[in-house]
Structure formats: structure tokens, C-alpha cells
Structure 1
Amino acid sequence: MGKATDTEVYQLLEKWQIPYERVDHQAVYTVAEIDFSIDGSDVKNLLMKSKKTKNYYFVICPGKKQLDIKGLAKALGERHLSFASEAELFELLGLERGSVTPLALPHDTERQITVIIDETIDQTKKIGFHPNTNTATLVIAFSDFRKFLANLAIEPKYLSIPAKQREA
């Protein structure tokens, strides 16, 4: 399927009649680099994989949350989770580092990825995602994001994703 493009995101959103607000900005690679604010939940998106079962998880959690990867693995019934490699990210979603977005999930045609959404994300607010490129963010209603996933026949799992305990 090749590289994920912003054009395909806009075409799908139009086809599925999902309204969005587009915020253009400088390229950002991490949540920490974001110097603009959106009218909605600030989230980070991670593609994780389990070594043993070869399962992939697309994790959406609050931007400020320090993920407890061991705790998440345990909650998912996995022994060990790690970040997917850049090659896997491209192979599965057509994405490059810094552009990780659930809006590329149409690329996962074999449905190898389980979508995990942190239940602490306020579903009454809007949510922002890159349109397959890290120079823009699209802000959409959470209910419309659910519609986007439903149109792909993706049933997300809602979990209370464990955060790392800060050491005193």
C-alpha cells in the first residue's frame, strides 16, 4: 500500500462526512515539541508490539501520561511490550516516526493491530491527530473518531492505561 498520505485522510473524512478543523504547524516528532494548543484532548499515539505473540497495539493515551509499559503488557495479557520498529510502522501503517496517527489505520488491511484507548481521555471533548504527516493536526469530535474506527470495522478496547509511578 506504500506511504500513508494526508490526501487519503481528507478523502476518507469527506466520504464519511466527518468534520474536522485543521491546524498547520512546524513538524513535530514528540508531544513535548508541541507548542500550539488545540481545542480538545492532547494525546499521544504509540504503536507497540509484543515479542512473543506478535500482536500489535495502537495505544492512544493522554499526552502527559508517562506510560507504564510493563503494567500495560500485564493489562493486555502480554509478557513483554516494546515499541514497533520504524520498518514495522511503515510496513503496517505506511508511516514514518513522528507521524504516528490512528488516521493511518486504513493501511492495516489485514487488521493486525488492536486499538487501545485510555479511558481517562474525555470523550465529550474533541481530539487531535496528525493527518499522516506531522506538519498538521486535525481536530475532530471524539464521537466522529469512533465513527472513523467503526467505518473500518475496528472495535477499540478501552483500558485504564497504567502510568509510571514517579519516584520520590
Structure 2
Amino acid sequence: MSSSPKCSRQDLLDFLVSLNIETKTYDHEAVFTVSESHKIKQHLPGGHTKNLFLKDKKGKMVLVVCLNDTEVDLKSFHHKYDCGRVSFCNADLLWEHLGVRPGSVTPFALINDKDNNAVNLVLDANLMKEELVNFHPLENTATTAITSEDLLRFVEATGHVPTILALEKDAG
């Protein structure tokens, strides 16, 4: 386990600039849930997201990133992705591996897992169809817009290889 300090919002934004990735960040009041964020998101262009930090019984950690209205069936997720049955990670694991607190989960937090690569990333196929996507920049008092193409560049720069899956809950 790395004992390096967690990256700040400014560290993240500086890292994105170093990759020649353009973003736009909007400051707003703190939001903790998808429903709380609706009034903020209605004024921001692009796909709006939810992020689920999960682990299976063997300890495999998975960050699932999808559009905020995607219904992810956690009971059958292990059939779509190579893992065991999953449950939500606790706040301690979230802080230890991604360096963020509940309510601030974001794929940008992979910057805090650069040395360990302990977290697996699953991106929803529908999310990746969006030209512009929005995430918290490590804190839930702002939203940063990035192109889906640049999101992939960022993820690669952190040493992670994303899996892109259709996550929408199967009908029936």
C-alpha cells in the first residue's frame, strides 16, 4: 500500500493540463447524491454520472462509472464482469485506495491509485457515447466536464485499463 499523500483538486487539474487535456470546472454547493445534484446538472452540458465503488468477496475492487439514470443490477453484475458477487466498499477503503470521501467518488480519483493499480475501472458503454461527461474533481463542491475521449487518455495516464460494458439492467 502506498503511503503517498492524496492528490488535491488542484493536483488533479494540473495533471490534466500536463496531459494537454482541456476541462471546464464549475463550482457549486456540496452534493452527496444523484438526486441532490439534479438542480446543478440541469445547467451543465454533457452526460451526468454516478460512480459506484464496489468489491467482491475476494477483495477485488471495481469502480463502476455510468450515466446517472442507468440502472445497474448489482446482483448480476458479476455475470457481466469478471468478479464475484459485489457489494459497496466502505468509506475507509474508498479513502485508502481512491483518496476521496463518500459523495465525491469519481474516475478522477484513479490519480490516487496510480502507484498501486488496485482498483479496476468499468465504464458504461452508454456513457462513452457521450461527447462530454461530468465528474467531481475529487470533491463534491465542483463538477468538471471532460470529453469521453480525454477521460480515456486520463485513465491510461494513471496506468489503468478500463473495461467498457453495457451496464443497463436487463429487462425482464
| Contact kept in structure 2, 1:71 and 1:162, CA below 8 Å | no
1:25 alignment partner in structure 2: 28
Structure 2 gaps of 5+ residues are: none
One-letter amino acid matched to 1:131: P
TM-score, length-scaled by structure 2: 0.89
Shift of 1:62: 1.2
Structure 1 gaps of 5+ residues are: none
| Contact kept in structure 1, 2:53 and 2:61, CA below 8 Å | yes
Mapping of residues 71-150 of structure 1, within 5 Å: 71-108=76-113, 109-150=115-156
Shift of 1:124: 4.4
**Superposition RMSD in Å:** 1.6
Identity fraction in percent? 28
One-letter amino acid matched to 2:63: F
Tell me the matched-pair count: 165
Shift of 1:115: 0.5
- 1:42 paired with 2:63, answer no
One-letter amino acid matched to 2:147: A
Shift of 1:33: 0.6
| Contact kept in structure 1, 2:53 and 2:63, CA below 8 Å | yes
Moved more, 63-72 or 1-10: 1-10
| Contact kept in structure 2, 1:4 and 1:93, CA below 8 Å | no
